[in-house]
Amino acid sequence: MFSVRPILLLYVGCSLSFPLTSINKRDVPDFVRQYAPVAYLCSTEIYFPSDIGAQIAHTHPEDASGATITPPAALTLSNLDSLNAFADSGTNVYLTSNEGIQALPSWFRGTRPQSDGSTPSTVASAIVTVSKPNDIVDAFYFYFYAYNQGNWVLGSPALEFGDHVGDWEHTMVRFVSGAPTAVYYSQHSGGEAFTYATTEKGPDGVRPVVYVANGTHANYATVGPHDHTIPNLNTEAGPLTDHTDKGPFWDPLVSAYLYSYDNSTGVFAAYNGVDPTAWLGFAGRWGDNELPDSTPGQIDVFGEKKYVAGPTGPRDKSLGRRAVCPDGDSCDVKSSLAP
């Protein structure tokens, strides 16, 4: 089990305030905590934030053929990268759910945040800071869910695509000389970015708000419907729509692993010298492989499938990006929240 290190916060219902001087800093820059996003899950969400380490306990590694991989020792967050010795340097390793994706076991549902936004005994987030030239620090706030339920195309449950075990999402706040300048919101294969000044702020008036889409956990800056048929283009209507509202409040900062990342060496380091780091180097997938078309219940419509492969982890989320958006992504930093 993983202990949750308390952070001294004062909550009143869903309101939030805290003096930065009362926080156990663990050497992470103050501004990384001060401007850490807060989240609102959808009111109809059933797949909540999940413990990162528990994902290992409920899965076993397989290669792309479905053959079980036997690691040299029982897997933990402290040795998960040992799987990189198998199956194409780990890139074809899948942390496969013991029950199978179609069983929808109870652990897929994660931990519903309490009224103060905490998830006791569940570490479902990790913060990674990356220092860059020109006094830039990018702080990546990663969020983990044991299961991703895909969208219904045109609102039809018979056309549900994109279900997968394991789900990594993130927001990134870019700081210049310690001041927040922009916020990036991950959304499926793309995302959106806004100036920090443009974003909605949480109850303290400082921390950016993230609205988490029902099932898919894509991150948005506003409530309401969000069609994502075209990557990086957010409209209010369309055939493939995420839904957000001001449901359960979640503060990922309350229990999070904190790391720095050296872009020149590819090395992660825990700020407290204790949080496990090996899992961040795992090159494989955090869920089952895509189910074959012959599997009962699998849907394949023009290459779009119901049950798809789980995602890779934080190391593959363009940590060394030059712009606010990932390298190769055409999204712009917007100064308006309008669709």
Residue 10: the pLDDT is 32
Question: Rounded mean pLDDT of 83-103?
Answer: 98
Give CA–CA dist 206/132, Å, rounded. Answer: 24
Q: Is the dihedral of CA 16, 20, 23, 25 positive or negative?
A: positive
Beta bridge partner(s), residue 227: 235, 241
Tens digit of each residue's pLDDT (9 = 90 or more) over 279-297: 999 999 999 999 999 999 9
Residue 162, both tokens: 């994109």
Segment 244-271 mean pLDDT: 97
**What are the angstrom distances between the C-alpha of 249 and each of 68, 252, 318, 338?**
39, 10, 28, 23
Q: What is the pLDDT of residue 57?
A: 97
Residues whose CB falls within 8 Å of the CB of residue 286, separated by 6 or more in sequence, listed in order:
55, 95, 144, 165, 166, 167, 168, 310, 311, 312, 313
d(CA 190, CA 25): 32
- Helices assigned H by DSSP within the chain: 30-34, 52-57
> What would the pLDDT profile of 164-203 be if each residue is shown by its tens digit?
999 999 999 999 999 999 999 999 888 999 999 999 999 9
Average pLDDT over residues 121-136: 97
Is the per-residue pLDDT at 1 higher than 50?
A: no
Q: How far apart, in whole angstroms, are the C-alpha atoms of residue 153 and residue 192?
A: 22
Quote the percentage of the chain above a pLDDT of 70. 87
Please state, in angstroms and rounded to a whole number, the distance separating the CA atoms of residues 48 and 107: 10
Among candidates 149, 61, 133, 146, which has minimal Cα distance to 98? 61
pLDDT bracket for residue 331 (50, 70, 90): confident
State both tokens at 42. 């959808």
Over residues 11-39, the pLDDT tens digits come to 333 333 333 333 344 589 999 999 999 99
Specify the 3-state DSSP secondary structure of 191: strand
Nearest to 227 by CA among 216, 235, 218: 235
Q: How far, in Å, CA of 262 to CA of 266, rounded?
A: 6
Instruction: At 165, list the tokens.
Output: 């075990």
| Cα R_g (the chain), whole angstroms | 19
Lookup: tokens for 227? 């069609």
How far is it, in rounded angstroms, from Cα 63 to Cα 89? 11
The single residue listed with the structure tokens 């952070």 is: 7
CA–CA distance, 234 with 260 (Å, rounded to integer): 31
